[in-house]
Structure 1
Amino acid sequence: MNYVLEHFNLFLLVSLRTIAFIAASPLMSMNVWPRLAKISLAFGLAYIAAPSIDTSVPDILTNPGQFVVDGVMEAIIGLMLGFIATLVFSAISIAGQAVDIQIGFSMAQLVAPGSTTQMGIMGNVYNLLFTLYFLGMGGLDGLMLAVLQSFTIVHIGAFQLPSDWPGFLLKLMGLVMSMGVELAAPLLAALFLSDVTFAFLSRAVPQMNVFVVGLPVKLFAGLAMFAIVMPGTVYLFNQIFSFVFRELQVVLQAIGG
């Protein structure tokens, strides 16, 4: 507490970055976390990071204008890092929603755990599986270490937006989309072949009600393929897991100069 009082300006600026990161980051921003727990975690990270920072910061009383500017920059850095991590996480949602549309689960919308968004059954399954994988591999520890490491790469008040940031963002969104499609590709292929098969059957046997017969068959084919490709799904989970922290490092190097 004595250190916080003696270096209050520094501690407050560091806290702004950690609070913004937790507010925008995946998992830690989930609604199931109590607000007090989120605030305590943010201040705890700031308390750990502040003693290792030797950058001089403006005083809130003598130079309030510069202090406000630095505070806004710190909040932007935290929000940016959290947004990048959340954007990569959205590859899982893309895969689940694509499968839900093809398998017929898109009408059975459920509230995703930890948020207020509606998501299909397979989307929830993919999200839960990846969340368990992320937690099991120490993903939360990795996110907290990333925000702590950000203070050594991007010093307080040294934020600079790269000139090619629109291209970088578009490239990242393209990679996220491709990972989501790659994750859902086996199930989409199986469901597409089921549709093609029933298209031929409807021509060969006009008396068969394709709509009534096709829905349970597509459901069985999709779930069977989901079980068969589970080892490959876990491998792709690992690729997305590594991609999250790799992109965080790229962003930190870009905005830190």
Structure 2
Amino acid sequence: MSYLLQHFDLFLLVSLRIVAFVSTSPLMSMNVWPRWAKIGLAFGLAYVAAPTIDSPVPDILTNPGQFIVDGVMEAVIGLLLGFIATLVFSAISIAGQAVDIQIGFSMAQLVAPGSTAQMGIMGNLYNLLFTLYFLGMGGLDGMMLAILHSFSVIHIGVFHLPSDWPGTLLHLTGLVMSMGVELAAPLLVALFLSDVTFAFLSRAVPQMNVFVVSLPVKLFAGLAMFAIVMPGTMYLFNQLFSFVFNQLQVVLQAMGG
């Protein structure tokens, strides 16, 4: 406590970055976490990180203007890092929503427990599986280590965006969407072939009610394909797991110069 009292300005700036990161990063920002747990986690990480930082910081009493500017920059850094991690995580939601639309589960929207957003059954299932995989592989520890490592790359009061950051963001968004489509591709192909088959059947047997018959068949085909490609899904989960931390490292290097 004596260290925190002597270096309160540094601790406050460090806390601003970590609090912003925790409030926007995946898993740590989930609504199922109590607010006191998020705040305790953020200040606990700040307590660990502050003694390892030797960057000069403005005094909050003698130079309040510069302190406010640095505080805003620290909060922006944390928000950007959390946003990048959340953006990569959205590949899972893209895959789940694409499958839900094709298989018919989009008519039964559920509330995702992590974000309270409306999501289909397959979207919830994909998110649950990847969350368990992420936690099992130590992803939560990796997220905390990433924000702690950020102080050695982006020093207090030093922050800049690369000149081509809009193009970089668009490129990252394209990669995320392509990974989501790749994750859902086997199921989408199976469901598309089912639709094509029933299109031919409707021409061959006009008396058959295609809409009624196709729903259970598409459901069975989608779930069967989901079970068949599960090993490949785990492989893509591993690729996405690595992609999250690779992009965090790229963003840290870009903002740290």
Normalising by the smaller structure, the TM-score range is over 0.9
Rounded to whole Å, the distance in 2 between the matches of 1:115 and 1:10 is 32
1:232 aligned residue: 232
Secondary structure of the corresponding residue to residue 54 of structure 1: coil
Q: How does 1:181-196 map to 2 (within 5 A)?
A: 181-196=181-196
Q: How does 1:68-147 map to 2 (within 5 A)?
A: 68-147=68-147
2:161 aligned residue: 161
2:24 aligned residue: 24
Under a length normalisation based on structure 1, what TM-score does the superposition of the two structures give?
1.00
Rounded to whole Å, the distance in 2 between the matches of 1:137 and 1:116 is 25
Q: After alignment, is 177-186 or 201-210 more displaced? A: 201-210
Q: How does 1:211-222 map to 2 (within 5 A)?
A: 211-222=211-222
Rounded to whole Å, the distance in 2 between the matches of 1:114 and 1:178 is 24
Secondary structure of the corresponding residue to residue 142 of structure 2: helix
1:205 aligned residue: 205
2:149 aligned residue: 149
Under a length normalisation based on structure 2, what TM-score does the superposition of the two structures give?
1.00
2:37 is aligned with 1:37: yes
2:46 aligned residue: 46
Residue 122 of structure 1, CA deviation: 0.2
Letter matched to residue 197 of structure 1: T
Letter matched to residue 89 of structure 2: F
* 1:183-211 C-alpha deviation (Å, 9 max, x unpaired): 00000000000000000011111111100
Which segments of 5 or more consecutive residues in structure 2 lack a partner in the other structure?
none
What fraction of aligned residue pairs are identical, expressed as a percent?
85
Residue 243 of structure 1, CA deviation: 0.2
Rounded to whole Å, the distance in 2 between the matches of 1:115 and 1:54 is 37
Rounded to whole Å, the distance in 2 between the matches of 1:116 and 1:129 is 17
Letter matched to residue 162 of structure 1: P
Rounded to whole Å, the distance in 2 between the matches of 1:2 and 1:26 is 33
* 1:107-160 C-alpha deviation (Å, 9 max, x unpaired): 100000122200000000000000000000000000000000000000000101
Aligned length: 257
* 1:155-177 C-alpha deviation (Å, 9 max, x unpaired): 00010111110000000000000
Pairwise CA RMSD: 0.4
Rounded to whole Å, the distance in 2 between the matches of 1:227 and 1:82 is 32
